[in-house]
Amino acid sequence: MSSIPPVEAEPRFASLDRFCSVGRTVEILSDAWSFLVLRECFFGARRFEAFQSVLKLPRNTLVKRLHKLTELGLLRKVSYSASASRFEYRLTEQGRDLYPIMLALLKFGNTWLSEGQPLPLELIHKGCGKTCSPVVACSDCNQPVDPHDVQYRNGPGAGSQPHATERTRSRRASDPDILERVRPCLVARSLKIIGDRWSFLLIREMFFGVRRFDEFQANLGIASNILTDRLQRLTEHGIIEKRQYQARPDRYEYRFTEKGRDLYGSMIVMMRWGDKWLSRGKPPLVLRHRQCQQDFFARVVCSECGEELDPRHVEYALHYTLADLAQ
């Protein structure tokens, strides 16, 4: 891909946050409990008891998450009995639109994180009747998107803002280790890598062409010990690798591995969701596909028939049982 230069630092601010639809999206999904509730929605859960029986989370936590997801506009409460006191939660259009993100993360997990084990979940596309895998494709020509084939330019919502102070940042997300309880889940395993705010921001900066320690620091306003820790973690996960680019004094930069570069699909699918639902019609960034020479957004399509995957037209073959996991 053709990298765009880092945001020009304005002298007034030591560092800047990019306006970024991906970041806004990941803020929502990086809360582990919220993610788990949404995932169960895609498996068909609607009622409080259904969420509770699968997730086995404290009642109060579940109440709070359902409330939060409703406030965010991802779920809506629908009364299902005449008494109006019995209600269930259904995905709104905005919530259902998170499905391609789940699928893109699933694809990444299936490709890189299954550790040689059989995949716990297979998708069957009702549209074509075949077992399929999700493919991130161009909205215009429907071909798979490779990061090398994408050019960027600023959109109407481009810009940046001074870093939020710690006080205004969202609170620390819940423990990522809960992500895989109940179900073995490759989406959750992908989120464990990128769902951490700083790790995610580092990956994003790298897709913008940022490679060096001091550039990360300048762009993100991240403390150097946290930066060191996250770079280390991403290296251990095999997402990035450290390369020397200068000797005496020795200097290093970070490059994506093949695995790391493969996160691109998930990134642009998250960006699409943020652009559609959170940017008020002003996307910060416009993508152009070199192959078809058109501006595009990312869609997730069936590997077998090329049709966009809609949660209402996908069935699942589960190669595990929930009972096994409840032990």
Binding region for Zn ion (CB under 5 A): 125, 127-128, 138, 140-141, 289, 291-292, 302, 304-305
Cβ closer to Zn ion: 39 or 125? 125
**Minimum distance, C-beta of residue 302 to Zn ion, in the bound complex (Å):** 3
Cβ closer to Zn ion: 178 or 292? 292
Cβ closer to Zn ion: 14 or 305? 305
**Minimum distance, C-beta of residue 97 to Zn ion, in the bound complex (Å):** 19
Q: Is residue 127 within 8 Å of residue 254, measured between CB atoms?
A: no
Cβ closer to Zn ion: 147 or 176? 147
Q: Is residue 87 within 8 Å of residue 78, measured between CB atoms?
A: yes
Q: Is residue 276 within 8 Å of residue 28, measured between CB atoms?
A: no
Indicate if the alpha-carbon torsion angle 29, 31, 37, 43 is positive or negative: positive
**Minimum distance, C-beta of residue 187 to Zn ion, in the bound complex (Å):** 20
What Å distances lie between residue 78 and 48, 63, 81, 88, 106, CA to CA?
Answer: 12, 15, 9, 5, 29
Within the chain, where are the H helices? 21-29, 32-42, 48-55, 59-71, 93-96, 99-112, 186-194, 197-207, 213-220, 224-236, 258-261, 264-278, 322-325
Cβ closer to Zn ion: 253 or 308? 308
Cβ closer to Zn ion: 106 or 182? 106
Alpha-carbon distance 211 to 265, whole Å? Answer: 20
Cβ closer to Zn ion: 46 or 313? 313
Strand pairing report for 294-296 and 160-162 = unpaired
Q: What secondary structure letter does DSSP report for 289?
A: E
**Minimum distance, C-beta of residue 127 to Zn ion, in the bound complex (Å):** 5
What Å distances lie between residue 136 and 14, 74, 146, 235, 267, CA to CA?
Answer: 36, 23, 9, 25, 10
**Minimum distance, C-beta of residue 183 to Zn ion, in the bound complex (Å):** 24
Give me the half-sphere count of Cα atoms (radius 13 Å) on the Cβ side of residue 148. Answer: 2
Cβ closer to Zn ion: 146 or 304? 304
Q: Is residue 208 within 8 Å of residue 4, measured between CB atoms?
A: yes
**Minimum distance, C-beta of residue 313 to Zn ion, in the bound complex (Å):** 9
> How far does Cα 283 stand from its chain's mean position?
17
Q: Which residues contact 181 (CB under 8 A, 6 or more apart)?
A: 55, 56, 325
Neighbours of 108 (CB within 10 A): 25
**Minimum distance, C-beta of residue 307 to Zn ion, in the bound complex (Å):** 5
**Minimum distance, C-beta of residue 32 to Zn ion, in the bound complex (Å):** 31
Alpha-carbon distance 138 to 181, whole Å? Answer: 34
Cβ closer to Zn ion: 94 or 143? 143
**Minimum distance, C-beta of residue 123 to Zn ion, in the bound complex (Å):** 9
Indicate if the alpha-carbon torsion angle 190, 165, 158, 253 is positive or negative: negative
